[in-house]
Amino acid sequence: MRAQFLILIEVIILLTYWSYTGFYILNDIDNHDDNGGSDGTLRFITCRFDHFSGLGNQLFRIASLYGIGQKLRRKVYFNSNLPTVRKAFLNFEQNFPNIANDAVTLVNTSLITEKVVLFGMNDRQYDNPMLIVKKTKYLKIAGNYIQSYKYFDGYQSDIKRIFTCQSTVTLDKRYVLDFHWRNEWHKKTHNLCVHTRRGDFLGIPFFRASSKQFTDPAVKTVLQTITSSNQSKVNVIYFGDDPQFVNGLYRSPQKGVKYFDMHKLQLTDVEELCFGIQNCDTVLLTATGSTFGWWLAYLHKKDGNVYYDGILSNYKVHGWNINDYVPSNWHRICADSGIAQVSHVPCPMRA
């Protein structure tokens, strides 16, 4: 019911949008037009923001637009008239300076003319950007979330550079850690970061929140994989917004294995992400739909693997495709039966 309601709202927003802007559909009348570069003019690209949303959603917009922009020879711009964008930008300037310095330009859209193209309308599904043919200087795609790694596949080193944390953020983190966890932090210790998400996900029926049913067997299995490959010391670090839930998760005593809770450090979202990027060896996503967890996994610097719950949503959602959303080198885990298994085929869904 709620999902249908959300889709209805989305349709209403779109229709309203349509009546204001006069939509330019893919391959419409002037389809010999091209994008930037060939005649030397600088061209730009942005997307629709209904709500700028949390950090993970913001990073997806920047990365996807960057990748699309590279293909179309366009630079990314954001509308400086939106207070949420200005606020996020201040945050970027402090914590991810490369975003503000070279990936995204703020443009006052009251002073320019934008043309809108119907593209990226499905939140977690890839569309081919080469189908966008528009000569206009300021191009706005009507998609809002554009969350497929395929938009920036091939630019991974650019994306990692753009999303480099300001060094002070990570330095502070080391201090926080030394203080709280003292001797538990050794170079030889393998950090298994287990991302969980409950909170708002519990209120949206199709969003699959972390569950004990998935997390416990998944942690056990991944831990086994790590310890069986000569890693005798492992920190299992639980990330998550629900302390009570996290407290109830897998904590079996085992020689060399210690359990930690990130929420005890009371970090901001940026600090938590930057901490994870620096320190996680292996990442396990127990709420695969969380874009924050997704970025933790994508940006983490060390060599370890990424594991994720192979079920993205509680039921099939139009426009969500897990194979467009999750990189193919991450390891899918199916664990709904109570036993976790790494799988190369889709996980069976309970009725």
Pairing of strands 282-285, 306-309: parallel
113 binds ligand NAG (CB under 6 A): no
Pairing of strands 114-117, 138-141: parallel
Nearer of residues 270 and 342 to ligand NAG, judged by Cβ: 342
CB 235 within 8 A of CB 258: yes
Stretch touching ligand NAG by CB under 6 A, among 105-113, 274-282, 283-291, 328-336: 105-113
Neighbour-count burial of 338, counting CB atoms closer than 10 A to its CB (0-12 exposed, 13-18 middle, 19+ buried): exposed
81 binds ligand NAG (CB under 6 A): yes
> Least distance from C-beta 109 to ligand NAG, angstroms?
8
111 binds ligand NAG (CB under 6 A): yes
Residues 220-239 close enough to bind ligand NAG by CB under 6 A: 229-230
Nearer of residues 81 and 94 to ligand NAG, judged by Cβ: 81
Which of residues 27, 41, 108, 252 is near ligand NAG by CB under 6 A?
Answer: 108
> Least distance from C-beta 230 to ligand NAG, angstroms?
4
> Least distance from C-beta 281 to ligand NAG, angstroms?
14
Nearer of residues 81 and 268 to ligand NAG, judged by Cβ: 81
What are 128's two structure tokens?
């081919």
Nearer of residues 80 and 136 to ligand NAG, judged by Cβ: 80
110 binds ligand NAG (CB under 6 A): yes
> What is the number of other CB atoms lying within 10 angstroms of the CB of residue 161?
12
80 binds ligand NAG (CB under 6 A): yes
CB 92 within 8 A of CB 100: yes
Residues 246-265 close enough to bind ligand NAG by CB under 6 A: none
Stretch touching ligand NAG by CB under 6 A, among 18-26, 106-114, 263-271, 317-325: 106-114
Residues 137-176 close enough to bind ligand NAG by CB under 6 A: none
CB 76 within 8 A of CB 46: yes
Nearer of residues 80 and 323 to ligand NAG, judged by Cβ: 80
User: What is the length of the chain?
Assistant: 351
> Least distance from C-beta 197 to ligand NAG, angstroms?
32
Q: How far is CA 347 from CA 182, 222, 310, 327, 340, in A?
A: 40, 17, 6, 16, 11
Identify which of 345, 302, 301 has the alpha carbon closest to the alpha carbon of residue 322.
345
3-state secondary structure 288-321: CCCHHHHHHHHHCCCCCCEEEECCCECCCCCCEC
Which residues of this chain interact with ligand NAG, rule CB under 6 A? 80-81, 108, 110-111, 229-230
